[in-house]
Amino acid sequence: MTGRDSSSILWHGTTILTVRKGGKVIVAGDGQVSVGATVMKANARKVRTLGKGNVIGGFAGATADAFTLFERLEAKLEQYPEQLTRACVELAKDWRTDRYLRRLEAMMLVADKSVSLVLTGTGDVLEPEGGVMGIGSGGTYALAAARALMDTPATAEEIARKAMAIAADICVYTNTNVIVEQLESTR
């Protein structure tokens, strides 16, 4: 490995996108997981429902770390039912202050019927502008494509699928095995 230990291997391979339009909120994610230049898995599921099915989320980063964060978020949602923003802020506080959680390397996009948020290990809990947000190696490509499509008559799901396909055409760490979850939206 030319002077690098195994902990310095870079895991790549995620594009997660959320689109909120026309009474729907979508979270979409591709299925590729790569180590260096090798595709390790092409059909990973990085998007799932959380809580009692009223929250959807997707992750970018280390899988085990992301599942740890999903579990912590579900616990916060039990503590603060129907309060996604509050649950995310409380998780972000823990993520920044807990010695174990601080070492986790992942980002999350989560959404419920009224709000979409991105959570990071630096304590950020951000609501996207214009109802669209992308994270991961192809996130900026998907975000740009989705923003360009928001003024078209396309539905939220159509926008998400087209934007993910564009990201897969540009980002070598993103593929076309897309999982989409959706909820009814109040906005």
By annotation, the residues acting in catalysis are: 14
d(CA 28, CA 39): 20
Q: The tokens of 43 are what? A: 């059909």
Q: What is the DSSP string of 11-43?
A: EE--EEEEEEETTEEEEEE---EEETTEEEES-
Q: Which helix (H) or strand (E) holds 141?
A: helix 139-149
Contact status, residue 18 vs residue 3, Cβ threshold 8 Å: no
Phi (first) and psi of residue 28, to 5 degrees:
-125, 145
Q: Which helix (H) or strand (E) holds 101?
A: helix 99-102
Residue closest to 175 by CA, chosen among 28, 62, 63:
28
Residue closest to 44 by CA, chosen among 62, 56, 26:
62
